[in-house]
């Protein structure tokens, strides 16, 4: 697994399950704990194989780390939702992922050491330079 820290030099070893994730634009509320704005949190890039997927709980496991995805639908535009797509920028959901799939993911490290997925992209089955894929070109524009 390749991990690239794009916001902080700290990588936390202990990751806990995230349940009932509701993320507001100004604050993050997870299990009734409110954190600071998402923009202020360190972002990590992960390129790895999925070990397990639990779409009902809203998380995936990679390299023995559980990463939460905010998948709750809401009509409120201030509520954050994890972007989940394939390499061609086509929308997907966690139910379409399975153990053994390869993904590229950007995730925030929360102050308590947990991770929240910002973007999850399914990679092609055969080895490819991800920097040439449509989703990665879009990321570089951000």
Mind listing the domains of the chain with CATH numbers? Answer: 2-141 (2.40.50.320)
| Distance spanning both ends of the chain, measured CA to CA | 24
The pTM assigned to this predicted structure is 0.70
C-alpha to C-alpha distance for 111 and 35, rounded to whole angstroms: 7
- Name residues whose C-beta falls within 8 Å of residue 84's C-beta, 6 or more positions apart in sequence: 69, 71, 91, 92, 93, 94, 119, 120
Q: What is the pLDDT of residues 103-126, one digit of tens each?
A: 999 998 887 778 889 899 999 987
Please state the rounded mean pLDDT for residues 72-94: 80
C-alpha to C-alpha distance for 108 and 41, rounded to whole angstroms: 6
pLDDT at 31: 47
Q: What is the pLDDT of residues 24-57, one digit of tens each?
A: 344 555 544 455 566 777 888 889 999 999 998 8
Answer yes or no: is pLDDT of 86 > 90: yes
Please state the rounded mean pLDDT for residues 10-18: 27
Instruction: Give residue 46's Cα distance to chain centre.
Output: 9
């Amino acid at each position: 697994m390749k991990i690239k820290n794009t916001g902080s030099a700290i990588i936390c070893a202990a990751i806990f399950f995230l349940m009932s994730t509701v993320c507001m634009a100004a604050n993050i509320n997870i299990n009734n704990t409110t954190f600071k704005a998402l923009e202020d949190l360190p972002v990590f890039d992960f390129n790895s194989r999925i070990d397990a997927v639990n779409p009902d709980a809203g998380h995936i496991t990679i390299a023995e780390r559980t990463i939460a995805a905010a998948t709750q639908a809401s009509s409120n535009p201030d509520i954050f939702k994890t972007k989940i797509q394939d390499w061609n920028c086509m929308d997907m959901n966690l139910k379409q992922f399975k153990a053994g799939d390869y993904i590229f993911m950007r995730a925030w490290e929360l102050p308590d050491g947990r991770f929240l997925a910002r973007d999850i992209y399914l990679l092609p089955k055969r080895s490819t330079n991800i920097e040439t894929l449509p989703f990665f070109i879009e990321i570089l524009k951000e």
